[in-house]
Chain A
Amino acid sequence: MRVVVEKRDTRSKRMAILIPLVSFIVSLMLGAIVLIASKSNPLQAYGAMLNGAFGNARRFQYTIVESLPLLMCGLGVGIAFRLKFWNIGAEGQYVWGAIGITWVMQFWRFLPVPMLLPVGLAVGMTLGALWAGVPGFLKAQWSVDETLTTLMLNYVAIGLAEYLYINKWKAPLGNMGTPEFPREAWLPQIWGKVHAGIFIALALVVLLWFLLYKTRWGFELNMIGKNPKAARYQGVSIKRNIVLAMILSGAICGLSGSVNTAAIAHRLTKGVNAGYGFTGIIIAWMSGLNPFASILVAVVMAALTTGADALQIAMKLPESMGEVLQGLVLIPLLAGSIFVEHKLKFIKKEAA
């Protein structure tokens, strides 16, 4: 008997749903092996994680709050990914959003207080957009590789943020972080810990879905992503659209940074680069660039984080175990995507 990988004649919708599901189960089993090896009961551990992520209203709220920046960054990078533009700079764009809103809150005091929040969000969004527009422009104009530029720009943005909250914009008291935003300008909480950012995130999901699937621009992005040569021949400007898509992508990631800062830390401080932008890449990828699917993926990824915290407390497992389990989710899922297009075939060798 031998096993061969055969290309599927056609791609089926059912497989596209079934395969991620099976992959998820496989990753749970892999996780179980790791857990057993570190002498814990996997069922108990998963139970603790589930409980930690969704066990009561407060934990559930916390998971939702965690999922919002992931969702927004996922939506943001997803737009660039449609063009096969590998924007891995969401982290930096997110940080710029946080810097932008802090700048407004701290220095634009000529504004009436109720205006601080909307203007701050807009400025954060704009800075994120500009920061992303640069690698977009470099790629469009001189074909500068975007993976490199977007990645490097992350570190510039993070370095700048550190300089600001440790040094330049530091509050007089305390050793790190800018002064707290005026309380009236915080993004309000609407259900326990869940803040109004959830409306912004969900509105973005609907908006992007409409933009990508219903408009001429969405149609053009789809063409460019799937065959740039054909798109150009049909009169679609590739350069212009790369820049536009990157600007939109960065605007959303930037907005995500401003929203989160206005809702949670209420100032620029350590932890602003929490990795939402990087996890956003995974969200975009696993959701197949579908905005609605991103919601589900973002919640699952957030639950893995919040659940891992519980794991640490309830099971006395090291903190890194949570990260190990998160990693284990990804591998089978990415490997699984191969089987959307290919299948395994078992062939019985006949006696010759």
Chain B
Amino acid sequence: MLGLVVPAILSGLTTGAVYALVALGLTLIYGVLHIINFAHGSLLMAALYVALVLNMRLGLDPYVALPIVVAVFFCAGYLLQRFVVDTFSHGRDANILLVTLALSIIIDNGALYLFTSNTRTVDVPYAFDMIEVGPAFIPLPKVVAFVAALVIAGLLWLVMRHTRLGAAIRAVAIEKRGAELMGIDVKHTYAMCFGIGTACVAAAACLLLPTFYVTPQVGYAFVLVAFTTVVLGGMGSLGGALVAGLLLGVVEALCGLFLGETLGQIGIFAAFILTLLFRPAGLFAPKVA
């Protein structure tokens, strides 16, 4: 039994790191704008396709493409927030939710139109290289994803703690009006957040691609997991998202092991609903009054 459980946990951790990366982007946006970006998963899917096309047309390895895709998506995220989400919602919370929903519909179905619903994968020479980790063999790309996700999370933390931008983001998150009065450009800060959040999914996409597949619906599955991660970790908490992402990866792997593939996902949603109901501020938050 243990012979199966430990590899499952390790493999779960590697998946969880990618979940965490996706969730970091989402939680950053939530923490500052106080809205859920329903287009987050669609942006992940779009980034997967961009990396895929770069690979097929230019032969770029997904890892090599990572900086390019990240830069492109950072800009796309910035522009989306500044010129679509903000403008089209008139700044109303309920409408922001709907605008991001509209974006996800457009991106998902645009991809369906452009790429059809066929499942695609990339061919990389190292896809089946294995690394021995304790009692388990883990595919090399998963180990890379795990390490890279943690590194990116660390970088994000450094940006938040030690840069002017990070300070501005934290200020806006706590008190928008006050920050505005202190001369912080709130719209710019919002857009930077959206950009960074989108860059996170772009990075996640490039790390995922070697071991994963792409379909126009793939974002949907991820975004639900990301929602769960964000809620579990406490909306807006970066550290919480990281821990919750890893945890969920393990929960999913274990549920998959014991309940089978499809029901494995139930574990995630059960966790989601239970947290939303009983600890809406997240697992690690002090109990809400």
| A pairs with B | no
Residue ranges of A at the interface with B (Cβ–Cβ < 8 Å): none
